[in-house]
Amino acid sequence: MKRSGDPGAKPRSSSVAGPDCCGGLGNIDFRQADLCVMTWLLGYVDPLDPSFVAAVLTIAFNPLYWNVVARWEHKTRKLSRAFRSPYLACYSLSVTILLLNFLRSHCFTQAMVSQPKMDSLDTPAAYGLGLALLGLGVVLVLSSFFALGFAGTFLGDYFGILKEARVTVFPFNILDNPMYWGSTANYLGWAIMHASPTGLLLTVLVALTYMVALLYEEPFTAEIYRQKASGPHKRS
């Protein structure tokens, strides 16, 4: 860490002082701070490790897969025709989504155990925090599932299985997209419990991937229900 001067020197204002990655908020050049954080993370994370690469690929692939398949089904209804039922088609997609999510979690865990732990996170207090986050995530995911139902959880609206009204019961009454944020909390808690910088980095990737997915899912789903609402008016 750089020092601003010797003890006898007159203090300089933060606007004059050179940028310092760790010398106080007034002296931070945030572009250099970002580089500092990345340099620190790369001290723990080997991005070329096969298990890390596998985790990154599964994290990025899963939302892409279910969005592409569900939109294709909404446009063509080929899965519904192949299974002779939109419900069976939706259930078939749900099986593949669950299997891919198990694979993602496995790759996530393997990436963590194959790379170094962070000593400052390897404490009982941090473990307790991670356990609490994991518990919160489980509550959000399970309560979302029960509120939406099986078809609602697994993109049933893309198969024409629409709800009569927007779901507003817990946890949807406290935040939007609780299934995604619950899943993110699960990964964050799991990473902290393992004292894993690799897990923390991968959790950031999980959150960013969900945020990108929502940019495509929410407008498309809103349009599906807008068309449903306008349907009767068109027929009258």
Does 136 count as an annotated binding residue?
yes
Does 137 count as an annotated binding residue?
yes
Q: Please, is 7 exposed, middle or buried when counting C-beta atoms within 10 Å of its C-beta (0-12, 13-18, 19+)? A: exposed
Q: Under a CB-based contact definition with an 8 Å cutoff, are residues 57 and 104 in contact?
A: no
Question: What is the Cα gyration radius of the chain?
Answer: 23
The C-alpha angle 227, 232, 234, rounded to 5 degrees, equals: 80
Residues 6+ apart with CB under 8 A from 55: 104, 107, 108, 110, 111, 202
d(CA 100, CA 107): 10
Does 189 count as an annotated binding residue?
no
Does 218 count as an annotated binding residue?
yes
- Structure-block tokens of residue 232: 């009767």
Does 199 count as an annotated binding residue?
no
Q: Show binding-site residues for S-adenosyl-L-methionine.
A: 135-137, 217-218
Q: Show binding-site residues.
A: 135-137, 217-218
